Structure 1
Amino acid sequence: MSRSNLDIIRASYEGSAEQNGRNLLAALAADVTWTEAAGFPYAGTYVGPQAIMEGVFHRLATEWDGYQAKVHTYLAEDDRVAAFGVYSGTYRKTGKAMTASFAHLYRLNNGKIVSMEQYVDSAQVNAALT
């Protein structure tokens, strides 16, 4: 039995950090595009799982303490899933904590994530950097 698009996305948020990362990596298409919002510290579009892991997730793991993305609402329709929630964490260089609302819009094809676009209150994140 195949998993729904919603189940695939939910599995990348609702377990331990290790489980979430493993589930996300398994769900990424080889040519996935991952767009971090303008104004966010890691802004830009990353193509492919390796670029995403190095450009986004490795940096989150090494530059922040306790960084989390907690989803409170999912919406799914056809090939799209949206996840709405709150980021939190403490930036290691400054010791400043932040919380910021986010939305992630995923597009899937045949059980694989082909794109993700981030929307975020980047002012809250950037305030922790200085």
Structure 2
Amino acid sequence: MINLDIVKSTYEGKTSEENGKNLKRYITNETQWTEAAGFPYAGTYQGFDEIEKKVFVRLGCEWNGYNFAVEDYVAAGDKVFAYGSYSGTNKATGKFFKARVAHLWILKEGKIISFEQFVDSKTVSDVM
């Protein structure tokens, strides 16, 4: 698979479970995953277990309908950008949000080396 196809497979599966399995397949124990400063899950996490615990489990527990609608991708060499919008309803407050976001993926030899999120964190934090 080319890098663009790998990244697309983590967003464009038929179910979120399929996307998660695809993501896990391409992450190594050394993969660095960075959630933006100011975002509720801000920080840098390493390896699938930590990423799942610190980000994905919380997303599932704290949000209804949390989604990243990809608008488009830009790929160059070992880098792939995906950009679009997050949306969802916070379970605790019942408030809905929509925020612009971009993800930068860096890959090497078919594996994800790093992920970095760029997002309007205030929009997300305000509904929490």
TM-score interval w.r.t. the shorter chain?
over 0.9
1:10 paired residue among 8, 11, 23: 8
Q: 1:71 — aligned with what?
A: 70
Count of residue pairs brought into register by the alignment: 127
Q: How many angstroms apart in 2 are the aligned matches of 1:36 and 1:14?
A: 21
Unaligned runs of 5+ in 2: none
**CA distance in 1 between partners of 2:69 and 2:111 (Å):** 22
Deviations along 1:77-128, one digit per CA (max 9) or x if unpaired, are 1101000011010010000010011000000011000100100011110111
Q: Distance in 2 between matches of 1:112 and 1:99?
A: 30
**How do 1:1-130 and structure 2 match up within 5 A?**
3-15=1-13, 16-129=15-128
Deviation at 1:18, TM superposition (A): 0.9
Normalised TM-score (structure 1): 0.96
Q: Distance in 2 between matches of 1:113 and 1:18?
A: 18
Percent identity of equivalent pairs: 50
SS at match of 1:101: strand
Amino acid at match of 1:69: F
The Cα RMSD (Å) is 0.6
Give the residue type in structure 1 aligned to 2:56.
Answer: F
1:67 CA displacement:
0.4
SS at match of 1:30: strand
CA distance in 1, matches of 2:32, 2:92: 29
TM-score, scaled to structure 2 = 0.97
Shift of 1:30: 1.8
Structure 1: gaps (5+ residues) = none
Post-superposition CA distance 1:1-21 (Å, at most 9, x none): xx0000000010012111111
Residue 26 of structure 1 aligns to a residue whose secondary structure is: helix
